[in-house]
Amino acid sequence: MAERKATNIKWQDSQVKRDEREKILGQRGCVAWLTGLPGSGKTTIAQHVEQKLIHRGVACYVLDGDNVRHGLNEDLGFSQEDRQENIRRISEVAKLFADAAVVTLTAFISPYRDDRFKARKIAPEGRFFEVFVDTPLDECKKRDPKGHYKKAEEGIIKNFTGVNAPYEPPDIPELRITTMGSTPEESADQVIAFLEEQGILPGAAASSGSTA
Amino acid sequence: MAERKATNIKWQDSQVKRDEREKILGQRGCVAWLTGLPGSGKTTIAQHVEQKLIHRGVACYVLDGDNVRHGLNEDLGFSQEDRQENIRRISEVAKLFADAAVVTLTAFISPYRDDRFKARKIAPEGRFFEVFVDTPLDECKKRDPKGHYKKAEEGIIKNFTGVNAPYEPPDIPELRITTMGSTPEESADQVIAFLEEQGILPGAAASSGSTA
């Protein structure tokens, strides 16, 4: 790679660096990686964060099952190998979005610690935040928004996280969200407050001055 | 998919629609798909467009070999099958970026008409623009910025587009750029003027009023 760039000297290097991009656009890219059991509330919380940030004028985007599983990763199933490839590709796409200065949220079960660790390594340094949506299994089963827990317990769905496939909770997530007794909107506010503390977003009240 | 959404009614639908996102952020997403022979100038032109748009405050991003081939598509080689999968994944990622209201440029040889057609079908409707970077083969060979033509002609590189692999030029690209006798910056200005005409970007002088 170094060689390829070095031989390319006849062309002026016009590539925009992330620092420059962020300074001019007045916002910082990051990956907020939401992980948790099926039905824990990841996508809903992520979408609320997105809606709030867009309304603040911050470019923000959610990668989730709906826009990734049926497109980029439509060739992948639910074996352990395919799940790993699923998460690997999402990690790479999230990295590109973060590089583009977009506040990026991913909402995938991502049950394996090792896969989440790899996602962290791929992301721009210091811009990856693991957000554990820590809803107890019993509560997820009760909510069962897609009816998948029921089907898994009846043996109709195999390899379903929480029933017949493992979930490895984060040891030290950057943020842990307890959804019991909170609305998705309140959970979203927690994520936003966290991103403000990290200097990714300017504070709503008193700006931290960390972004333009 | 319809069923999955329908069963999800306990949760408030908070998903931001592209229209709403674009209106608030004051910019429109699109995919400007640059295609052309190796060494035709795709990446350089795309990077100049990006630099100019970022300096106008427009969120813009270039997908090219450097950030895709060594990341998302690092598992793919250069067989016809792998090239197709390479372009398929890029098409899907470009779609996501366009959905996020980012002016997205892709800079890949993308030698097959059929693959480019699929990229068009995947992109948001009316937001895909095929940009043919139409530099004659002889000129590309002369420039040979990476020394790949030389290696291909010596048989060191196989399946190299323009030497021992086909390139199918677009029949009716939305924009055709002749790079002979122009600087990359002038070519970039052509792309930007085109995006203004299409209502993707507000005009630099007299705003078309098509974006906020």
ipTM for the complex?
A: 0.89
pLDDT given for residue B117 in this prediction:
97
Asked if residue A9 has pLDDT above 80, the reply is no
A101 vs B contacts (CB less than 8 Å) = 59
**Can you identify the CATH homologous superfamily of domain B26-197?**
P-loop containing nucleotide triphosphate hydrolases (3.40.50.300)
> How many CB atoms are located within 10 Å of the residue A23 CB?
15
Mean pLDDT of B76-80: 87
Which residue numbers of A are catalytic? Answer: 110
Asked if residue A11 has pLDDT above 60, the reply is no
pLDDT band at A202 (very low <50, low <70, confident <90, very high): confident
Q: Which residues of chain B from 116 to 135 reach within 8 Å of chain A, CB to CB? A: 122
Any CB–CB contact under 8 A between B186 and chain A? no
Q: List the one residue out of B117, B100, B27 whose CA is nearest residue B63.
A: B100
% of chain B residues with pLDDT over 70:
89
Asked if residue A146 has pLDDT above 80, the reply is yes
pLDDT given for residue B79 in this prediction:
84
Asked if residue A123 has pLDDT above 90, the reply is yes
> From CA A160, how far away is CA A144, in angstroms rounded?
12
pLDDT given for residue B27 in this prediction:
94
Tell me which residue in B8, B57, B101 faces A25 most closely, judged by beta carbons.
B57
Mean pLDDT of B101-107: 97
pLDDT given for residue B13 in this prediction:
56
Task: Assign domain A34-197 one CATH number from 3.50.50.60, 3.40.50.300, 3.40.50.2300, 3.40.50.720.
Answer: 3.40.50.300
pLDDT band at A13 (very low <50, low <70, confident <90, very high): low
pLDDT digit string (tens) for B147-189?
999 999 999 998 899 999 999 999 999 999 999 989 999 999 9
Whether A143 and B101 lie within 8 Å, measured CB to CB:
no
pLDDT band at A14 (very low <50, low <70, confident <90, very high): low
pLDDT given for residue A71 in this prediction:
94
3 state SS of A106: strand
pLDDT digit string (tens) for B43-53?
999 999 999 99
Where do the DSSP E strands lie in chain A? 30-35, 60-64, 103-107, 128-133, 175-177
Whether B44 and A99 lie within 8 Å, measured CB to CB:
no
Which residue ranges make up each domain of chain A? 34-197
pLDDT digit string (tens) for B125-152?
999 999 999 999 999 999 998 999 999 9
Asked if residue B206 has pLDDT above 60, the reply is no
Q: Which residue of B has its CA nearest to A98?
A: B61
Which of residues A208 and A184 earns the better pLDDT score? A184
φ, ψ for residue A25, nearest 5 deg: -75, -15
Best A3, A24, A72, A157 member to test B by mutation, with max B CBs in 10 Å, is A72
> From CA A48, how far away is CA A125, in angstroms rounded?
26
Any CB–CB contact under 8 A between B149 and chain A? no
Q: What is the DSSP code string of A33-68?
A: EEE-STTSSHHHHHHHHHHHHHHTT--EEEEEIIII
pLDDT band at A204 (very low <50, low <70, confident <90, very high): low
- What's the order of all strands across the beta sheet hosting A128-133? A60-64, A103-107, A30-35, A128-133, A175-177
Asked if residue A212 has pLDDT above 60, the reply is no
The predicted model scores a pTM of 0.90
